[in-house]
Amino acid sequence: MNNEDRIHQALDTFQIETPSWGYADTGTRFGKFTQDGAAITIEDKLADAGQVHAFTGCCPQVAVHVLWDFNAEASPEDVRRMACDHGVRIGSINPNLFQDQCYKLGSLTHPDADVRKQALAHCVDSVQLGQTLASGVITLWLADGTNYPGQDNMRTRKKRLEEALSEIHQSLSTDQVLLVEYKPFEPAFYHTDIADWGMAWSHARRAGEQAKVLVDTGHHYAAQNIEQIVAWLLDEEMLGGFHFNDRRYADDDLTLGSIDPYQIFRIFREIFAYVHDTGVVPKIEFMIDQSHNLKPKIEAMMQTVMTAQELHAKAALVDHDALGGCQERGEIVDAERLLKQAYDTDVRPMIADWRSARNLPEDPLMAFRESGYQEVAASERKKRREALGMNQTSSYA
């Protein structure tokens, strides 16, 4: 199989989910800068996501955040219909266990049983919402943790979480999976209750067979070898999905590949190596989790998707038979050269050919700019904000 065929085959099976919150005005703990074209409603978000899918051809699903995307004006049935109208469908369901004041000391691990009960009920409701929307993925990230030594009993919190995850797992339908995410710090800075992949792995194992680990590429210390984590989780059959973004320091939510594209290539390479070595194609949910504070929302999302396609295509070019031979003979330089040879290949012409053969624009970003959608949306949404008297300085989505 030549390089072009390898790339076309890899791209035919590669899909990446975009997040609804990535199209809206978002910010930091210090505030946010607003954009006229940012989405206001869930329908705006789905319309924007529909544009990304229409121009790239690989983003048919949209992740939703329960408390941000569903309300009296937007029922599950309404959201499902709107998604269909804009050429996409609802993907992962994300419960919100960090926004309410009652979660100051935690949610599923809170010392107060009533708060834990409320958090658990919200998670079970989110699972049922997923069933209504035909979503097969529940993504669970907890802000739970402590800020000071002695604030709470870590082992007790661990047991509380084990019990809660088991109950959430029991509420899953047979075609749903629970993806358990981890984060070493923030917003808790002394300890977080699921601080690394090993803790997430342990909790997922105890929860049940339909629970796996979610790797967010921004949720690691700067020196962390993320591809080693990926390799271990693949070997344990516990890798459920990714939240893709990039970071310079910690969870910076930067566009994918803007800081270290070679790392994302290495991650994809580990997945291709696993398929080559085992003959098994794992079910992995590829998702984006970014907050584009300064870049135009849709363009930043499209830039990320195109980067993901390029790095995935590069990883598909690695000759794993030749690499295995180098590894067996201890030919370290040659082994690394094989990786670099694939990474240094300019795959853009072959991706452009793939797009052209599927009636997609060869350069999705430039084609989107030429469509005029952004200007029309910005004008209409600016007028709507003014009519609604929306506060432009609120702190989050």
- At 97-111, the pLDDT tens digits run 999 999 999 999 999
Q: Is 106 left (phi over 0), alpha (psi -120 to 50) or beta?
A: left
Answer yes or no: CATH 3.40.190.10 is held by domain 14-316+372-388.
Answer: no
pLDDT for the residue numbered 33 = 85
pLDDT tens track for 272-297: 999 999 999 999 999 999 988 899 99
**Mean predicted confidence (pLDDT) in 369-382:** 97
- Specify the pLDDT at position 393: 46
- pLDDT beyond 50 at 123: yes
For the residues 237-247, what does the mean pLDDT come to? 97
Tens digits of residue pLDDT in 256-270: 999 999 999 999 999
Q: What is the mean pLDDT of the chain?
A: 95
Quick one: pLDDT at residue 395? Answer: 39
Given a cut of 50, whether residue 211 has pLDDT beyond it is yes
Average pLDDT estimate for 60-87: 93
Banded pLDDT at 391 (limits 50, 70, 90): low
**Contact partners, residue 199, CB within 8 Å, separation at least 6:** 182, 193
- Over residues 116-122, mean pLDDT: 98
CA-wise closest residue to 38 among 373, 366, 377, 392: 377
Q: Can you give the pLDDT at residue 397?
A: 42
Rg (CA), the chain: 21
Summarised one tens digit per residue, pLDDT across range 126-168 is 999 999 999 999 999 999 999 999 999 999 999 999 999 999 9
Per-residue confidence band for 321, with pLDDT thresholds at 50, 70 and 90:
very high
245, 257 contact by CB (below 8 A): no
Distance CA(370)–CA(37), nearest Å, equals 16
Whether the model pTM is above 0.75:
yes
Check pLDDT > 80 for residue 29: no
Report phi then psi at 396, rounded to 5.
-155, 180
Name the band, by pLDDT with cuts 50, 70 and 90, for residue 71. Answer: confident
**Closest to 295 (Cα-Cα) out of 242, 244, 256:** 256
pLDDT on residue 31 = 80
Euclidean distance between CA atoms 24 and 72, whole angstroms: 19
307 token code pair: 């980067």
**Looking at residues 364-384, what average pLDDT do you find?**
97
The reported pLDDT for the residue numbered 191 is 98
Confidence category of residue 309, pLDDT binned at 50, 70, 90: very high
- In sequence order, the β-bridge partners of residue 239 are 213
pLDDT at 155: 98
SS3 track for the chain: CCHHHHHHHHHHCCCCEEEHHHHECCCECCECCCCCCCECCHHHHHHHHHHHHHHHCCCCEEEEEHHHHCECCECHHHHHHHHHHCCCEEEEEECCCCCCHHHCCCCCCCCCHHHHHHHHHHHHHHHHHHHHCCCCEEEECCCCEECCCCCCCHHHHHHHHHHHHHHHHHCCCCCCEEEEECCCCCCCCCEECCCCHHHHHHHHHHHCCCEEEEEECCCCCCCCCHHHHHHHHHHCCCEEEEEECECCCCCCCECCCCCCHHHHHHHHHHHHHHHHHHCCCCCCEEEECCCCCCCCHHHHHHHHHHHHHHHHHHHCCCCHHHHHHHHHHCCHHHHHHHHHHHHCCCCHHHHHHHHHHCCCCCCHHHHHHHHCHHHHHHHHHHHHHHHHCCCCCCCCC
* Six-digit token string for 233: 């989780």
